[in-house]
Amino acid sequence: MQLIQSDTNGFNIPTVTIEDSPRFPWRGALIDTARHFIPVDVIKRQLDGLASAKLNTFHWHLTDDQGWRLESVAYPNLQEKGSDGLFYTREQIKDVVAYANSLAIRVIPEVDLPGHASAIAAAYPKPMTEVQDYQIERKWGVRKPLLDPTKPEVSINSLTP
């Protein structure tokens, strides 16, 4: 489209040879929905912008101290207590990934563990290094909740509410 020219005779496209390739194989943007929830339609609009700028990677930050944005069937407290109800359903995530794929954009999800776990701790405090009542964090900073890898509860197969 950038080559189309117009004059009083109409439109034309010059005969050219283009030899072009990206300087970097990974060209993309990080969108932090863990700290700032963004609706799916806005994410898709951002993906359209990435595609128009010929970017090919969407780094999707989904978990942090300020929110757990992934729906979990096995551990529903993650989205119920760890996101203030602002999370993406499994269907929405599949939809966004399919939409990105249709634009030749790969999706790189980011799930921060064992630290950045305030949202997890608000939902499931038992597997933390220090068991206490936790709240989702609202501000930036270094937080104490850490998953304790020495506890059997930390195993993905045995995490219990």
pLDDT in tens, the chain (161 residues): 888 999 998 999 989 998 888 888 899 999 999 999 999 999 999 999 999 999 999 999 999 999 999 999 989 999 999 999 999 999 999 999 999 999 999 999 999 887 789 999 999 999 999 999 999 988 888 788 889 888 887 875 554 44
Q: What is the pLDDT of residue 158?
A: 52
CB atoms within 10 A of CB 2: 3
CA 134 to chain centre: 23
Joined tokens for residue 156: 């993905």
Q: What is the pLDDT of residue 159?
A: 46
Provide the whole-model pTM: 0.80
Q: What is the pLDDT of residue 108?
A: 97
Q: What is the pLDDT of residue 153?
A: 78
Q: What is the pLDDT of residue 115?
A: 79
